[in-house]
Chains A and B, each alone.
Chain A
């Protein structure tokens, strides 16, 4: 059946797969040709098969609730999100450029601070940063790289422009879902994968391994790598275990490690102590080492910072990398790129008002009903105000919060972020979505092919976070110059 003409109500904003005349975009044409051969019952059957695969593969994330933590199956939509190779290549370059500049910036902040001396980045922003770690000053990690794994969130506005919404430089998650989504799609729609024009995504675990191995302080062929997880009750535990398994790395908790008096990090194994070279940590700085950060952290490793400072172990991402993962710093990223790379940013930032600036503060308070207001240091979509959708009371409450602590808030115009057709009941509906590619940097730079597309399952909702009911789609990078899908 013709899914678009019969059912699809869209044109709320830019649609990823469908143009203004309700025709498939070039890269999505073969998909819709294929879908037109399926009737509603057949598509339902595929969806049920997807749900069954997810359950059987045990793809879950944990949701915290008063009734205790529950493992929830990962909500997945079977209609893929499609981008052309041409567009993707530009985005990929933009992401590499951005991470390179951010790493130069972090390295500078913890060392000479040229960018502050040169008046590009205000000292008071750094002074107010909750994620700047004094304990990291004067350290030179390998290749000058601090953020080895970055998950940037991209959104597209109504006019088609792709913006970087935020850079996640601490412990970005979601990449395992990107990999699993592709596995499910290959099982469900093998017809669409007969030719090779959908670019594969599955080299990520190898690339991650290479990135981590490159950091090893010991020049050995097979460095010992451990994924440090907070444990089974963490919402991303599935991913920690998945990545450790894919890389052949240890999946370890803080208590599995031991740091000796001469600052060497070991794992406790059944054969005794095993020296560790690289730790891919999936816990926040605050919990990393009770000797230096939160003293009562039960998740971390006593003495880890001593070892890291002496260079006997590498940590990815490096402690303190989160200093650039701050929504105030975000506003300066275009300047940071120009300063370190002497180049114009390839990917634009969303225009951002800094409440710490008096003029911006006045503007924000006067235009709260048009803006999205975000706290500087939160992630996961918590604690934000979507002005146009908030009640007068909520806006008044937020105005108080902002006045009390302007450094902690930024505001951005409400983007009309793009949609894509999503299977709802027996037909397609438009749902808003974003894209989180993952960028790796050590001696080399790498960007995932596409990334994790997160979709807000509730009609009209802009919140795509899995912790708040979002779902995901497979993301296809398709070579539209040579479409050769089978009929």
Chain B
């Protein structure tokens, strides 16, 4: 397989995952904010912190405010992480290798792109329209993943898609945990008592983890258990540990996987050594910072092993934005 094709597959998968993650994050945050006691200091700008786009937002829109943040995160193509940008990038990447995927895949991806383009504007306006719109995006994206899972050979093409999907997923999970715990954990704000558990419920829901957490861990929502579940659970498909495992499996099918596989193992060793029993906010933040760096290293080794074109500059600069934000 050509390096460029592999790179496009990987990025298509990342952007598709990002499309869904953004939609999910916005919906869950909306529901969560409705539960907060009046006067809670926490606001919509937490979304900007999670996605790492606060600076860009500030430059484009100024003060944080719900409807503008929603336009920025859903419909604004100047934001490379918006739902609109992500689905657009996924589509452009897919155009170059339509023949490698099941026939309906391109058609459905294209329909999803057209749906988002036609509805992103109105879908970012009222809370009601927004919820319906984002849910539709999520369910269409599920249909795309289902199509791949049920009708694709587990060949190299599939492995690059799997790599991209799990990289993006792990990235999003660590960001969400990082930002939420930074808001909730400091004890002196009293937030922990009044709203802590409803915030964590919101987080679990944004990752579709609420039911699984209750069934496998506890009916009670405790900070350290939620963080432990989202990072270290071996069976939940959005935990960091699970995503790393999926990447390792994908790499096992690919040639010359030594360096990237080692990078994945290093990230997992660090995760395994993390003790979350007595959760200290500063240590957790330090760890999550390191986890983001480890993921960035996995990404870089995948890139230099499979996509590198030494004399061409490294890659499409647009694809780098998200990552740089992650490292900042």
Contacts and interface: CB of A to CB of B under 8 A. Distances in A.
Contacts of B107: 56, 58
A149 B92 CA distance: 31
Interface residues of B, number: 21
A92 to B, nearest CB: 32
Interface residues of A, number: 19
A65 interface: no
Interface string A253-272: 10110100000000111111
A232 B96 contact: yes
Contacts of A271: 255-256
A269 B106 contact: no
A269 B99 contact: no
Nearest to B1: A270
A255 B2 contact: no
Nearest to A272: B256
Interface in B1-33: 1-4, 6
A256 B3 contact: yes
Interface in A224-269: 231-232, 241, 245, 250, 252-253, 255-256, 258, 267-269
B4 A253 contact: yes
Interface in B70-116: 92, 95-96, 98-99, 106-107
A268 B98 contact: no
Given A58-B106, A270-B306, A256 B95 contact: no
Given A268-B3, A269-B1, A245 B306 contact: no
Contacts of A231: 96
B312 A255 contact: yes
A255 B4 contact: yes
A241 B256 CA distance: 28
Contact of A256 (B2, B98, B256, B306): B2
Contacts of A252: 2, 4
B309 A255 contact: yes
A272 B254 CA distance: 12
Contacts of B95: 232
B197 interface: no
A448 to B, nearest CB: 23
A270 B98 CA distance: 19
A270 B255 contact: yes
Interface in B292-314: 306, 308-309, 311-312
Contacts of A258: 311
B43 to A, nearest CB: 38
A56 B255 CA distance: 35
A267 B2 contact: yes
A269 B3 contact: yes
B99 A245 contact: yes
A300 to B, nearest CB: 13
B156 interface: yes
B6 A270 contact: yes
B95 to A, nearest CB: 5
A241 B106 CA distance: 14
A72 to B, nearest CB: 14
A58 B255 contact: no
A250 B312 CA distance: 20
B241 to A, nearest CB: 26
Given A58-B107, A241-B99, A270-B156, A250 B2 contact: yes
Contacts of B254: 270
A58 B2 contact: no
* Among B2, B92, B95, B311, residue most surrounded by chain A Cβ atoms (within 10 Å): B2
A267 B306 CA distance: 12
Interface in A86-123: none
B309 A268 contact: yes
Interface string B138-164: 000000000000000000100000000
7 contacts: A252-B4, A268-B2, A268-B308, A269-B2, A271-B256, A272-B255, A272-B256
Given A269-B1, A270-B254, 8 more contacts: A231-B96, A232-B95, A250-B2, A253-B4, A255-B4, A268-B4, A268-B309, A270-B306
The 9 closest A-B pairs by CB, nearest first: A268-B3, A271-B255, A270-B306, A245-B99, A270-B6, A232-B95, A270-B1, A256-B2, A255-B312
